[in-house]
Each structure stands twice: as structure tokens, then as C-alpha cells.
Amino acid sequence: MKKIITLSAVLFAAAALFAQTVLKVGATPEPHADILNLIKDDLKADGVDLKVIEFTDYVTPNEAVESGEIDANYFQHIPYLESFNKERGYHLVNAGGIHVEPFALYSKKVKSVKDLKKKARIAIPNDPTNEGRALLLLADAGLITLKEGAGITATVQDIASNPLKLKFSEIEAASLPRVLADVDAAVINGNYAIPAGLSAKKDGLFVEGSSSPYVNVIAVKEGNENTDAIKALVKALKSEKVRKYVEGKYPNGEVVVVF
């Protein structure tokens, strides 16, 4: 009898494993991929086999979701997603907001915004919404003003006043940490600043406020946001386990959960 029960248990476990749904999610390495890897076992218990595919740019993971190569991605905020949809004619939607990574202005040459000299070179992201976000940050820091109505899609052409006659270098977001030593300052996205050892709270000359609307989300192709696997993914990401992990790993506020 024991052998029969044991065999039944093995067969049941094998059947459960076989029935698992494979969920492919694209992510930039830190913190997104790290957070996803944290919940792999939790999802497995819910019948979801999470496969994390790492990307180092902001374009390919959206192309992969739109084409169906992967099921979801986790790297972007809503303004970027909406801008990407409009520009490419894509159909990506937000399946759940998870965290915010405050933008910050960093420098290896000065210790304060007030120390920036005339004609200082400032590097900013070159993708539409992150460039606008960077310029809004610089405006909040009092370094520039923007034309009335200029918002998240602002470009350097929308600068109304620039008292220090700052020079701007528009650079791919992933490359910003590498060029930091070559410019006077750079506005760097959190998911690229963190792997470079930069802390917004400790190293930032000026940091985005905690009320930032740039929440990082799970993005899927329209129509897939309510599948069981995606719902399980979002639920696992909005867990106390993730909250405690983020608070422990990023005590200086480089990453802030929004749930």
C-alpha cells in the first residue's frame, strides 16, 4: 500500500510540474531581474514557471512583447510605455505598478548643484520621455526653465532659460554611467545608476521627489493583462517578501515600492 501511495504522489507531482505555465518576462538587470528572480519559487508553487530574460536597452524588450517572443516585461514607467505605443503603433498595456526609481543628477567633479560652472556639460538620456523627465528634474533644481506647456516629452529645444549656458549631451540611457567621468554631471535612470554603484540619496546632487508619477510597471500586450499567469506574477511582485527585500537592499531610497 505504501508503494502505491508513494507512486501516486510521484505521479501527481510530475503531472503538476508538467502542467506548469511557462512565463517569459524580459527585464533590465537591476533591480528588475533581481526582483523577478526573488519570486521564482513563489510562482512555481502557483503553477507558473518564470523565465527571466535580461535586456540592457529600452527598445528590444518592448519589441519582444509586441511580437509575442516574450509574455511581459518589467523595466519601464507608464509615460515611456505610452510614448512607445504612440511612436511605434504598439499595443502594450500596464498590468500592474510595482516600484519607483527616483531620477538623480550625479557628478564626479562637483559636490553640489551650486558648484556647477558656466558652460558645464550635462549628459541626459536621449529617449523621449526620459529626456523630458531629466529636463524637468533640472528645472526643479533651478538650473533651467522650460517653455510653458513643456512636459514629459520636453527636449532641449523646449528650454526657455539657461542662466549657466549649460551644454547638453543626449546619450543612450545605458551609457550614462560610463560617461559620467567625462562630463560635469549626468541625469541617470535608477536601473542604470544602481549597478554602477550610485545611490540617489548618497551621491545625487539633486533627486526626484517621492511623488514621482514614473512608476515601473509590468507591461504586456493588450488582452493578456488578465491571464492567470500575469495576475499571479503581479500578485507575487506586490508581496511583503518583495517589499522587505527592496527596503533591505535599497535603504537609501534608490528603489521605492508603491504598493
- Amino acid at position 202, single letter: K
* Sign, CA torsion 108/113/118/120: positive
Overall pTM surpassing 0.85 (yes/no): no
Cβ burial of 154 (10 Å; 0-12, 13-18, 19+) is buried
Q: What are phi and psi of 248, to 5 degrees?
A: -75, -40
Tell me the C-alpha distance between 168 and 185, whole Å: 10
Asked if 224 and 230 count as a contact pair (C-beta separation under 8 A), the reply is yes
Question: How much is the CA Rg of the chain, to the nearest whole Å?
Answer: 21
Residue 5 is inside which H or E element, if any?
helix 2-18
Grid coordinates of 209: 521627489
Q: Pick from 38, 46, 72, 29: which is nearest to 242 by CA?
A: 38
Residue 37 is inside which H or E element, if any?
helix 34-38
**Which DSSP string do the residues of 40-94 spell out, in sequence order?**
HHHHHHTTEEEEEEE-SSSSHHHHHHHHTSSSEEEEEEHHHHHHHHHHHT--EEE
Q: What are phi and psi of 241, to 5 degrees?
A: -60, -45
For 68: left if phi > 0, alpha if psi spans -120 to 50, otherwise beta; the answer is left
Kindly give, in sequence order, each residue whose CB lies less than 8 Å from that of residue 34, ignoring residues fewer than 6 positions away. Answer: 249
Per-residue pLDDT of the chain (259 residues), as tens digits, is: 444 455 555 555 555 555 799 999 999 999 999 999 999 999 999 999 999 999 999 999 999 999 999 999 999 999 999 999 999 999 999 999 999 988 999 999 999 999 999 999 999 999 988 999 999 999 999 999 999 999 888 999 999 999 999 999 999 999 999 999 999 999 999 889 999 999 988 999 999 875 577 899 999 999 999 999 999 999 999 999 999 999 999 988 889 899 9
